[in-house]
Structure 1
Amino acid sequence: MRSTNIAIKKTSYMVKLYLLPPFIKIILALGLFIFICVIGITILHRQSVAELVSLKQRKVMLEKEVTREAKSYGDLVYLSKNAKEAKEQYQSLIKQFPPEFKIGELLADISKLGTEQGLKFIYFKPQQSVDHVYYAEVPVEISVVGQFHQIGRFLGGVANLPGSVVAVNHFTLTRLDGTENLLSLQFTATLYHTLPTSLDIKA
């Protein structure tokens, strides 16, 4: 008897739901649809965020790996199968590097170039030399203030100093507070020079 009563109650409930006014049915259906959409969107959003974080982490790992491989190229050049061709390419590159005693002159040239362009130096900080197998690099942290065209000519001049190989990177350009046409530039100029071991590869 109990099971029969339960069945009747369930049937009665479904009948009541069926007999609801159409307007109420539409509202209930719409509410159910919105609930399902919200749940679905939330799940998809969480999955997308997780995938995006994973892709960003993978990108950072790949960038570090590429940088590490590029840095070790000069050290591992003779281990490649095409050692002769690689050596010729490396010789050509090293021949463009000035000797170490020229670095002081190049630093003076950079300072002079900025002054000639009318720039104001905030700081000029040569860093510790970083030695590799056949060459070394000297990072120089520089900050100047001036107008856009002055800064542009200065950067172009630094990157094209005669008898040198200079890389300009890590630069930040911002408008100086309280001025209309003055900009503040911070960047690192990396100067490359040969080492005594460079004679081995130049031969």
Structure 2
Amino acid sequence: MVNVDLKNPAVQKILLASLVVASLLGVFFFTHFLPFGYPAQRDRIVALKADYEKKSTDLARARATVADLPRFEAEYEQLHQRWELAAELLPADRQSAALLRKITLAAQQTGVQFVSFRPAAPKGEQYYTELPLQISVNGGYHQVGSFLAELANLRRIVTVANVKLKQNVGNTTGYQTTSAEFTASAYSLNTTPVPAPGADAKNPKKEAANARKS
């Protein structure tokens, strides 16, 4: 066993030099190798984890979409059928003549007679147009009631408003008749939606800004 005299100045110098070298090596390792080793590896792991989680989320969404595709297609088909039925209730303007024929046929079937039949001014809305008709008929009380019921039961939407009934008296035949005046409104689907009120209103601030630009 070698005895080391720690009091020997030469030994002390060697030990001191060894400590300095060890310290320098430690500093060099922590400032050169470690920054380019552990942090870089850590960042790579974090990036891989984030990419893995993103891919997992995308895969789950894709699987859910594929699994729900039949349901989405069925819902779309139901919605399309409902839209076609609704479009039949609000046909285009070119079908208005057919509606007038149906109203005339309803009058003939119920036994009422037209006294007057006058179209009023159309009332345009954004997606549909109201087509009011001022109608006056004459017939038996039950005949008039049946005629109004026929209008309400038409496949196409027809609303009846402002009904005025008047019992006719003094009939020489002894058969009492009823006169009815009302507004029957049909509705047609606009092929091109009408801009909502105020959509085309001028904006003073915007016009002033455009004037400055020009």
TM-score by length of 1: 0.49
Greater per-residue helix proportion: 1
TM-score by length of 2: 0.47
Q: Which has the larger radius of gyration?
A: 2
